[in-house]
Structure 1
Amino acid sequence: MSQDIAVAPRIHISLEHQRLTLIGRDGGVEIEYPVSTGLNGPGERDGSGCTPRGEHFIRALIGADQPLRTVFRGRRPTGEIYSPELAQQHPGRDWILSRILWLCGRESGKNRGPGVDTFRRFIYIHGTPDTEPMGVPLSHGCVRMRNDDIVDLFGRVQAGIAVFID
């Protein structure tokens, strides 16, 4: 007699392939999205601009019911909606748009704790201007996604879901 074993849904982020994969309860791929991770490559050090590797979880989901392309600063909506005109007014701004999945490391000394803490580094999975390329590392350490994709992912996950980055 076969026994069905349900596994918890989880997220895998491949730095090499610049892909985020949501793995469902059945262990199969539910959906995949292109992403853009840290321009400075992989790394855990605070201030490095690198994307942290290893085991994480989603600590908080921010932005439910906000309009597409809502601008966030300090994890709070500014009341602005991203547009090319707004971008011209704020050149060089690191745009965090639509939704935020705030990550927290699980591995003490690697991505959790002094000098390497993913949560305290404010590492998110978040929306970015749709003009920004995906599949190419260009972020300041976060995992950037298309706005429609981050809204879709946001609706499929909950706080506590495991995230593995390699």
Structure 2
Amino acid sequence: MKLHLNIKEQQLTLIEPGRTTRFSISTAANGAGEQTGSGCTPRGLHIIRAKIGAGLPENAVFIGRRFTGEIYSSALAQSNPGRDWILTRILWLSGCEPGVNRLGNVDSMRRYIYIHGTPETEPMGVPASHGCIRMRNNDLLTLFNRVSVGTPLLIEES
């Protein structure tokens, strides 16, 4: 099993024996890049380092990888304008290429790069995130249940 992410197409592909599943996603509005503080989506080979949120309800809200006890709603969004919503589940990524996306000022894990859920009002298929990979919550639940820690993910621009 492996994952492939195409930034240009804004698509994440799950490749399993005998089955391929494609998901529409949203990567960084700032484009591709690895530098700490860039707000960009890192390229290269990664693995899923951790799976966070198993058993929580859909639309569970996370801050700092911890469930806040909140469930996302339009009323919650109105009372927290400008908040970057991390919802439902987190797949925390770790880079595998020293100097490219691992260690120093390019470390994807230390940059807290995730695949995570987002409100239904956020667009898919267009770059709009702050560096992470956003997915529809129901798609993320499907992905979360089919991948394991250590699953490789290759992120490419095209």
TM-score under structure 1 length normalisation:
0.93
Kindly report structure 1 stretches of 4+ aligned residues shifted beyond 3 Å. none
- Superposed CA RMSD: 0.7
Matched residue, 1:49 = 39
Q: How many residues align?
A: 156
- The 2-side partners of 1:127 and 1:84 are apart by 15
After superposition, the C-alpha distances for 1:86-136 in whole angstroms (9 at most, x for unaligned) are 001111100000000000000000000110000000000000001100000
Residue number among 127, 137, 153 corresponding to 1:137 in the alignment = 127
Q: In 1, distance between residues paired with 2:86 and 2:69?
A: 13
Match of 1:76 among 53, 66, 72: 66
Unaligned runs of 5+ in 1: 1-8
Q: Decide which structure has the larger Cα Rg and report it.
A: 1
In the alignment, residue 109 of structure 1 is paired with which amino acid? G
Structure 2, gaps ≥5 residues long: none
- Secondary structure at the residue paired with 1:39? coil
- Paired with 2:120 and 2:110, the residues of 1 have a C-alpha distance of 27
Structure 1 residue identity aligned to 2:69: G
Indicate whether 1:153 and 2:131 are aligned. Answer: no
Which amino acid in structure 2 is aligned with residue 95 of structure 1?
W
- Higher share in strand: 2
The code of the aligned residue for 1:150 comes to: L
Which position in structure 2 is the counterpart of 1:96? 86
Q: Which amino acid aligns with 1:107?
A: E
1:114 to 97, 104, 107: 104
Q: CA deviation at 1:157?
A: 0.4
> 1:35: Cα distance to partner?
0.1
Secondary structure at the counterpart of residue 115 of structure 1: helix
Whether 2:17 is the aligned partner of 1:25: answer yes
Per the normalisation by structure 2, the TM-score is 0.97
Q: 1:151 corresponds to which letter in structure 2? A: L
